[in-house]
Structure 1
Amino acid sequence: MNKKNLICFLLLIVVIGVYYNYQKGDDVVSKSTQNISDKPNYQSDEMLTNIYDLSGELIYKIESSNIRHFDDSDNTEFDLPNFTFYDQVHLAAWHIKAKKAILTSDKLLYLYHDVQLDNLTKEAQLKQVKTDNAVIDLTSQLVTSKDPVIVNGVGFYSTGIGLAGDLHAKTANILENVKTYYNTEAK
């Protein structure tokens, strides 16, 4: 082999080596991009957020031990969330807690494990709703659940399966297997 052919051969090997190395780099980038979508874009511990309407009035307050937001799904996850909802006259109306919650881009709040809704209005007949999982539409403030439900009120409590509630109207309807127990004694 002459010197010219040897240089061309070595140059060809270098070009092939660079090409394969470049291809491996693309694989690493695509694999790291896939892993990034599983990770939150931002997260925070011990978070407190106030949400206001366009006129500057408080609509609800969120407290959470940990929050994670994912840009790819536009979902926000909460650990040990506490939500306080305010009514039309800007008074605290409901306190809602769960072990976990997910807020979606279409303003649906999915609550998981030991969900409890406490009515903060003193004169209300409906005082508390407990279930394992629930969904709240933050726009309409309608609450639904397919799980067993316990509703506590002034002088009664009811149990059953499924829930259709309205936080604005301060109502909760159990959908199936309803059993209501009345207590004539004041609590």
Structure 2
Amino acid sequence: MRKLLVTLVLILTGTAAYLWFEPEDNPDALQTDQELLPDYVAENITRTLYNEEGYRADSVTAVRLEHFELLGFTQFEQPVYTLFNEAFQPSWKASSKYAIWFPQDKIILEQQVVIESLLQNELVERIETDTLEMLFPDNRLQNNQPVYIQGKGFYIEGIGLQADLTEKTLQLVQHQKTVYRNED
């Protein structure tokens, strides 16, 4: 009986000592976990931005949106951005599997990025790449990844892109190949 009592007292003392010295939950770890959870989630969203005169400047639709306030960005799934020209007509459509929108009006499009001209008679009709930065309100595009550009009667392959959709300028950082339709 005495051995049982001594064993029981030792177990209780050991448990009490363990609980006494057990580290408390780390508040920094809890904060990190909170940062990784979105503040809100929306599905099948549409957002339209208007200029000072009340005309549409751009429009965004997405299957899913997750906003992270503490991290300072919004993540989209299957976004489609429509940009409007100075005549207030839809001029360019940008789509990808994922996108991240930062408060400085910078959007990073990721995976299967496609930029398409919505206007007739544009020299460049389509741009394809894996990752692309869009800078607003300047409507500039940039990346350092492989790029495929398709136009009327040609296509171009290169690496890296600097483009201004408003000024209609496009520059490849490294040109690899240009093929005209009559050269296929």
TM-score bucket of the superposed structures, by smaller chain: 0.7 to 0.9
Match of 1:11 in 2: none
% identity of equivalent residues: 23
**Alpha-carbon shift at residue 49 of structure 1 (Å):** 1.1
Match of 1:76 in 2: 74
Could you list the runs of 5+ residues in structure 2 that have no partner in the other structure? Answer: 1-19
Match of 1:180 in 2: 178
Structure 2 residue aligned with 1:162, among 133, 140, 160? 160
Match of 1:85 in 2: 83
Match of 1:95 in 2: 93
**Alpha-carbon shift at residue 113 of structure 1 (Å):** 0.7
Measured in 2, the distance between the counterparts of 1:104 and 1:68 equals 12
Matched, 1:152 2:165: no
**Alpha-carbon shift at residue 41 of structure 1 (Å):** 1.0
- Quick check: 1:46–1:65 contact (8 Å CA) kept in 2? yes
The one-letter amino acid of 1:79's match is E
**Alpha-carbon shift at residue 29 of structure 1 (Å):** 6.1
Runs of 4+ in 1 over 6 A off after TM superposition: none
Measured in 1, the distance between the counterparts of 2:28 and 2:134 equals 37
Match of 2:132 in 1: 134
Over 3 Å counting, the alpha-carbon distance change for 1:179 and 1:44 in structure 2 is same
TM-score w.r.t. structure 2 length? 0.81
**Alpha-carbon shift at residue 51 of structure 1 (Å):** 1.2
Measured in 2, the distance between the counterparts of 1:32 and 1:73 equals 15
TM-score w.r.t. structure 1 length? 0.80
Match of 1:7 in 2: none
RMSD over aligned Cα, in angstroms? 2.0
**Alpha-carbon shift at residue 146 of structure 1 (Å):** 0.7
Residue by residue over 1:30-53, the C-alpha shift from the partner in whole angstroms, topping out at 9 and shown as x without a partner, is 654432211111110111111112
How many correspondences in the alignment? 162
Match of 2:14 in 1: none
- Quick check: 1:126–1:170 contact (8 Å CA) kept in 2? no
Match of 1:10 in 2: none
Could you list the runs of 5+ residues in structure 1 that have no partner in the other structure? Answer: 1-19
